[in-house]
Amino acid sequence: MATPFSSYANRAPAVLAVHRDRVLWIESAGRGGLAWAAASVTTAGAEGVANAARAARTEADGKARDVVLLLGESWVTLAFAPLGTLAPGELRMVLDRKARAALAPAADEVVHAALPVRARGERDPALADRWQMAAADRGRVLELAAALRSVGIRPRRVESARLAALEDAANDALVLQAQRDPDGVALSTLLGGRPIQHGALAAPSEDALVQEARSHAAFARRELRGRQVTELVLGGFDEEDGAELGARIAEALGLERTRSAAGTEALARRYLASASASPARRLDLLSAPRVERVAAAAWCVGALLFALGASAWTTRELDRRRDALHGELRALRTELANAERVDADSDRARPAPDALGTLGTLEREASTLEQASLRARRANDDLAALAAALDGEVDVRAFTLDDAGLRLEGGADARPLGALGALERVQHRLEDAGRFAKVEILPGAGADAGASGELRFTLRARRSP
């Protein structure tokens, strides 16, 4: 069946790559040809990027209007999340939290997407619970998309430029890729075409790149039971620099295979190829869920002020958040334990400097949610007892339930004997339920059965010890 996007999906898409101070417009010119051009971003903000994109499209004689928008390092934050074994609900919440942490405090709303590095059951099961994440400031992304639409360029997907530059691989090869782009140099370790480690250097020396390559190789040996990097792929370097760097890294790692694709045009071809990649390999930030920054304290004492119909849901939600936090704590403790292992093959350790602080924060929040969950469950039981006691014999106008106990305002049958009987039955049911002690029912001030048609009353009860 045809859809509004059918024609777009069936042809090679155009690509707009946005880096810190430069944009690339890329589209197919037919028969394997390439139409591309670069333009400098001379004005800060989304409008400056949009103007540069329009200039690059004009210079490339571009025809397309729908594009895959690739955002560079200054726009998209990449991270890996070793998550351990989590239930689907826990997994989503942990990924949300890690996305917020990757950008905080810069962004009020974060958009993120994630893919597992390895599916369960594949070789190297140690990587089955490791996820590749891409996160961005949702406000900046939407502002840029709007600015581009204003100049006739329509983003259909938003992805990471660094991930788009990675090599594809059908086999299970372990490859080290060094890719130069307008933001600097990125090193990535790829297993079967999927990244398992990233590193980025803004203005690296050759020595720094060799050292980073050694660190990547050591990580692979440790995490993949001694496996060795077998191939080096260089992209975006000029021929002379690429040849010299490739020789040094190959010597340092004992590699025999090195491939190189020199220059910006090679990067442009890689970007265009990635735009047609399998949807299963994409991290699209345009269609990804947003994550608002939410204070954990909002789930504490205030959660105990229930409406009768929402009490069970609130209890379940608190339990879900508590369980997710405990799952993240397990994952973080595993991450810390791995960071503390000494890597004899690496010249430098890679501890997570903020991990201990994060662990303490999560433990405090988990403790708070644990208490809130227990109190919510207790409140839910109290409300169930209250609902059973009322049993439709009185009308509830308002009630509060807190640590001290229950206060309820309502009305009863206007006939004195009928009202008295109904209120006594409510009082006895509450006392028999064992949830409350010293249940008192007081007539409302100035209550007038004849004027109001009912007897107003206030019920007060202390929680049982």
Q: Looking at residues 251-280, what average pLDDT do you find?
A: 84
Exposure string over 89-103, b if 16+ CB within 10 A, otherwise e = ebbebbbbbbbbebb
Question: What is the per-residue pLDDT for 113?
Answer: 82
Structure-token match 């339920």, residue found: 433
Higher pLDDT: 191 or 353? It is: 191
pTM of the model: 0.63
Q: Both 157 and 41 in a single domain?
A: yes
How remote is the C-alpha of 254 from its chain's centroid? 38
Task: Say if 199 falls within a structural domain.
Answer: yes
Domain boundary residue, one of 273, 292, 311: 292
Please give the mean pLDDT across all residues of the chain: 74
Q: Looking at residues 390-407, what average pLDDT do you find?
A: 68
Q: Looking at residues 158-183, what average pLDDT do you find?
A: 85
Question: What is the per-residue pLDDT for 280?
Answer: 56
Task: Say if 386 falls within a structural domain.
Answer: no
| Token pair belonging to 390 | 């009322």
Task: Say if 52 falls within a structural domain.
Answer: yes
Q: What is the CATH number of the domain that holds 399?
A: 3.30.1360
Q: Is the pLDDT of residue 92 over 80?
A: no
* Residues 95 and 81: beta-carbon distance below 8 Å: yes
Backbone angles phi, psi at 20, to 5 degrees: -60, -50
Q: Both 148 and 24 in a single domain?
A: yes
Question: What is the per-residue pLDDT for 2?
Answer: 36
The two beta strands, 257-261 and 231-235, are parallel
Domain boundary residue, one of 347, 379, 411: 379
333 CB burial (10 A radius; 0-12, 13-18, 19+): middle
Question: What is the per-residue pLDDT for 160?
Answer: 92
Structural domains counted in the chain:
3
Question: What is the per-residue pLDDT for 350?
Answer: 47
In tens, the pLDDT along 100-113 reads 777 665 666 788 88
Question: What is the per-residue pLDDT for 9?
Answer: 40
- Considering 136-140, 297-301, 400-404, the range whose residues carry the highest mean pLDDT is 136-140
Q: Both 235 and 89 in a single domain?
A: yes
Q: Both 375 and 454 in a single domain?
A: no
Task: Say if 385 falls within a structural domain.
Answer: no
Strands of the 174-181 sheet, one edge to the other? 194-201, 184-191, 174-181, 231-235, 257-261
Task: Say if 363 falls within a structural domain.
Answer: yes
Looking at 200-209, 252-261, 359-368, 424-433, which range is the least confident one?
359-368
Q: Both 195 and 227 in a single domain?
A: yes
Q: Both 114 and 219 in a single domain?
A: yes
Q: Both 125 and 235 in a single domain?
A: yes
Looking at 62-71, 297-306, 348-357, which range is the least confident one?
297-306
Question: What is the per-residue pLDDT for 368?
Answer: 63
Higher pLDDT: 245 or 331? It is: 245
Q: Both 232 and 369 in a single domain?
A: no
Question: What is the per-residue pLDDT for 372?
Answer: 61
Task: Say if 384 falls within a structural domain.
Answer: no
Q: Is the pLDDT of residue 317 over 60?
A: no
In tens, the pLDDT along 369-382 reads 566 666 666 766 67
Task: Say if 1 falls within a structural domain.
Answer: no
Task: List the domain range (segments joined by +) for residue 423.
Answer: 391-463
Question: What is the per-residue pLDDT for 349?
Answer: 44
Looking at 199-203, 227-231, 337-341, 349-353, which range is the least confident one?
349-353
Q: Both 32 and 133 in a single domain?
A: yes
Q: Is the pLDDT of residue 210 over 70?
A: yes
Q: Both 24 and 144 in a single domain?
A: yes
In tens, the pLDDT along 11-51 reads 557 999 999 999 999 998 877 788 999 999 999 899 999 99
Q: What is the CATH number of the domain that holds 18?
A: 3.30.420.380
Q: Looking at residues 302-315, what average pLDDT do you find?
A: 40
pLDDT band at 58 (very low <50, low <70, confident <90, very high): very high
Point out which residues pair with 411 in neighbouring strands.
395, 456
* Residues 67 and 98: beta-carbon distance below 8 Å: no
Q: Both 100 and 239 in a single domain?
A: yes
Domain boundary residue, one of 292, 321, 347: 292
Task: Say if 226 falls within a structural domain.
Answer: yes
Q: Looking at residues 143-153, what average pLDDT do you find?
A: 93
Residue 268: CB atoms within 10 Å: 23
Q: Both 222 and 285 in a single domain?
A: yes
